[in-house]
Amino acid sequence: REDRRSGLILTIPLCTEQTSMEELSSTLDYLLGIPSDKCKARGFTVIVDGRKSQWNIVKTVVLMLQNVIPAEVSLVCVVKPDEFWDKKVTHFCFWKEKDRLGFEVILVSANKLTRYIEPCQLTDEFGGSLVYDHMDWVNKRLVFEKFTKESTSLLDELVVINESEKSNQLDKERPPDCNFLPSLDPETVLQTGHELLSELQQRRFNGSEGGGVAWSPMDDELLAQPQVMKLLDSLREQYTKYQEVCRQRSKRSQLEEIQTKVMQVVNWLEGPGTEQLRTQWGIGDSIRASQALQQKHEEMESQHSEWFAVYVELNQQIAALLSAGDEEDLVELKGLQQQLSDVCYRQASQLESRQNVLQSAHEFHGTAQDLSQQLDGLLGMLCADVVPTDGAAIQQTLKHLEEKLKSVEGSLAGLREKGQVVMDQMSNQTTWSYGKDVPIENKENIDHIQGVMEDMHLRKQRCEDMVDVRRLKMLQMVQLFKCEEDASQAVEWLGELLDALLKTHIRLGDDAQETKALLEKHKKFVDVAQSTYDYGRQLLQATVVLCQSLRCTTRSSGDTLPHLNRVWKQFTVTSEERVHRLEMACSFHTAAEKVGGEWTIVTETYEEVETVGKALLDRLTVPVIFPDGSEQYFGSPGDMASSAVHIRDKMKLVEGRKLTLHEEDEDVEQLQYDQIHDQDKELQDDQELQEVDKELLDGEELELETDTQKS
């Protein structure tokens, strides 16, 4: 605020409580230090508000002004309470002491203070219109002083840091002081300054709230703005330099950190990592051993993975620095990147090569184990006794044996292929030692693989030889079963021929020609039976030879051969009986056909017909007796009866023709006699026929009884 002489106005409010002069003096010293010398040269108008204080305190304050700021004070206005100090004024007149005090002191009421000071420069408590918030001013002043102190201190620190960094760049051998950092955060201080400047500028151009009289900022605030702006400009300049210093520090620190980490990765990979790979060269002698080696390799890969992760991170950091780095760092960064990449890729390649060898070895041992189990199973089949059941079962067993052998051959081929893969991989396997690739000595591993393959090959050859022997034996068994089966079939066929001979070969023919045809047909039938019998005998002889070769007891000689011989003997007896009957029938028909010549011939022929016919009829009633004592009739009783009737009819025909030849020489009596004789003869024949039928029926019943007993 300003008085009418453009001097500054200082208001000292006093209260009823005891006022500390020491504190008041310190406060005055502080306030007087705020304005510039130019402002202080215009003088001060001091308002001492004593309305709530005692007179002696007011007097003490006025006298203290003489000691604190006598030269700067132009006028002291003591605001008095109404009619309170009138009696005491006479004791001390300030106007009389003007020369001694150095300034004018007047006692004035609050409502008359406007005589000396413009109302716009007085607050409402003195009847003025000035809008003023003392606490706001104090807060802003504290902010300003804090900013001034912090910014000044920060500027000094930044200057020192920047100059130190500049010296370090000139003297590169001097170790940098990376721990020297500003005590305050530059961003925070700058933000505080900008907020303070914004507030000062806003107070300058904005009017008072509520539309009152325009408020003019105090002179100290006007003076603070350029000071804040100057500090902000200096601080921004030094902070920009400091940021560049920090960037250089960060880049240098990052580069040194990258160098350290790169060397850590390189030293570990070329040291412990390479030593681990160098010592892990075996492939194991079994699938379990190879699995254990794979597990160890996985643990080793896990350790390497941690370092490879560091490599990836370092590679990304180096790439970022290369994209935004200075030219002086490019060569060093590229060198580090190349060195790191070479070591990591070489180590990863060796790890992958080792992993491939272990994987191939695991597959090789797995195939060898499977092949060994297959050979054991095949050998077990070959060592087991062959229990013959039938030809189909042996064929199935032989097929299974061939399939197993084929599977063994395929597995052996796979083993050789996998073994060759392992040996090829091991021959190309190297390790890094003393800066160069050194081949790994794998002679022991290669000898082991070759030994396993050779052992499996020898076992497979032994099994092949045993399979050849077993195959021959099983083929002989198949042939043995086939011969026995065919021999049984021959017996069955011969039995069917015998059954057909007894049941269907029963006709004797109606004349001599037909009988001769039946006889020829029977001979062919016998030839078929003879061939069947001979075939069965040959098969049984072959079974004997095969059983001797297989060193096993024959089963055909004690069962099939006696059965074959028994059936053949039954067939032979039956065939001979059939031939006898056909020959008798042929003689009967031949003799009957001769009837019709001269009387002498007729008589002889008739006798022959009658003799042969009766013999044939008798033959029909006789069963076939087999060597074992059993009997069997041809056909059914009805078939035999039909044949007998046919023979009798033909005998009657012959007899009729005989009677016709004697009709002319015989008289009626002879004719009657002959008729009576014929009647008797017919009656006798009927009786004989009945006897023959009875005999045939008895024979059929006997045959049925015999079959029943056999059953």
pLDDT in tens, 386-445: 666 666 777 777 788 888 888 888 888 998 898 888 888 888 766 544 445 555 567 888
Q: Of 96-110, 189-203, 493-507, 531-545, where does mean pLDDT reach its minimum?
A: 96-110
- C-beta separation of 485 from 465 below 8 A: no
Q: What is the mean pLDDT of residues 696-702?
A: 67
We find that the CATH architecture of domain 271-475 is Up-down Bundle (1.20)
pLDDT of residue 583 exceeding 70: yes
pLDDT of residue 651: 81
Q: What is the mean pLDDT of residues 189-207?
A: 72
Q: Could you write out the DSSP letters of every residue in 377-441?
A: HHHHHHHSPP----HHHHHHHHHHHHHHHHHHHHHHHHHHHHHHHHHHHHHT-EEEETTEEEE--
Q: What is the mean pLDDT of residues 97-114?
A: 73
**Percent of the chain clearing pLDDT 90 (strictly above):** 2
Q: Model confidence at 335, in pLDDT bands (50, 70, 90)?
A: confident
> Strand 104-108 and strand 430-433: pairing?
unpaired
- From 442, 430, 288, 436, select the one nearest 351 (Cα to Cα): 430
Q: What is the mean pLDDT of residues 476-483?
A: 77
Q: How far apart are CA 694 and CA 644, in angstroms?
A: 13
Q: Could you write out the DSSP letters of every residue in 54-123?
A: -HHHHHHHHHHHHHHSTTTEEEEEEEPPTTSSHHHHTT--TTTTHHHHSSEEEEE-GGGGGGTS-GGGSB
pLDDT of residue 222: 53
**Percent of the chain clearing pLDDT 70 (strictly above):** 78
pLDDT of residue 569 exceeding 50: yes
CATH 3.40.525.10 region(s) of the chain? 8-132
Q: Of 229-238, 377-386, 434-443, 471-480, where does mean pLDDT reach its minimum?
A: 434-443
Q: Of 95-104, 292-301, 417-426, 482-491, where does mean pLDDT reach its minimum?
A: 95-104
pLDDT of residue 490 exceeding 80: yes
Q: How far apart are CA 640 and CA 687, in angstroms?
A: 18
Residue 628 has phi, psi (to 5 degrees) of -85, 5
pLDDT in tens, 233-255: 888 888 888 888 877 777 777 77
pLDDT of residue 523 exceeding 90: yes
Q: How far apart are CA 213 and CA 448, in angstroms?
A: 109
Element (H, E) at 47: strand 44-49
pLDDT of residue 524: 92
CATH 1.20.58.60 region(s) of the chain? 271-475
pLDDT of residue 5: 63
CA 119 to chain CA centroid, Å, is 94
HSE-up of residue 49 (Cα within 13 Å, Cβ side): 15
Q: Of 171-185, 276-290, 332-346, 356-370, where does mean pLDDT reach its minimum?
A: 171-185
Q: Of 108-117, 473-482, 685-694, where does mean pLDDT reach its minimum?
A: 685-694
pLDDT in tens, 337-356: 888 888 888 888 888 888 88
Q: Of 95-104, 544-553, 651-660, where does mean pLDDT reach its minimum?
A: 95-104
pLDDT of residue 208: 41
Q: How far apart are CA 50 and CA 608, in angstroms?
A: 199
Q: How far apart are CA 585 and CA 513, in angstroms?
A: 11
Task: Please identify which residue in the block is written with the tokens 């390189």.
Answer: 266
Q: What is the mean pLDDT of the chain?
A: 76
pLDDT in tens, 109-124: 877 887 778 888 888 7
pLDDT in tens, 625-669: 888 888 888 877 787 788 888 888 888 887 777 777 655 445 545
Q: Domain 8-132 falls in which CATH fold?
A: Phosphatidylinositol Transfer Protein Sec14p (3.40.525)
pLDDT of residue 183 exceeding 70: yes
Query: Is-above-0.85 flag for pTM?
Result: no
* CB-count exposure of residue 306 (10 Å: 0-12, 13-18, 19+): exposed
Q: Between vectors from CA 211 to CA 206 and to CA 217, what angle results, nearest 5°?
A: 35
Q: How far apart are CA 627 and CA 571, in angstroms?
A: 11
Q: Of 141-145, 326-330, 367-371, where does mean pLDDT reach its minimum?
A: 326-330
pLDDT of residue 520: 92
DSSP 175: P
Q: What is the mean pLDDT of residues 63-88?
A: 70
CB within 8 Å of 529: residues ≥ 6 apart: 494, 497, 498, 568, 571, 575
Other C-beta atoms within 10 Å of 421: how many?
A: 17
Q: How far apart are CA 463 and CA 456, in angstroms?
A: 11
CB within 8 Å of 66: residues ≥ 6 apart: 101, 102, 103
pLDDT of residue 472: 79
pLDDT of residue 392: 73
Q: Could you write out the DSSP letters of every residue in 293-307?
A: HHHHHHHHHHHHHHH
pLDDT of residue 168 exceeding 90: no
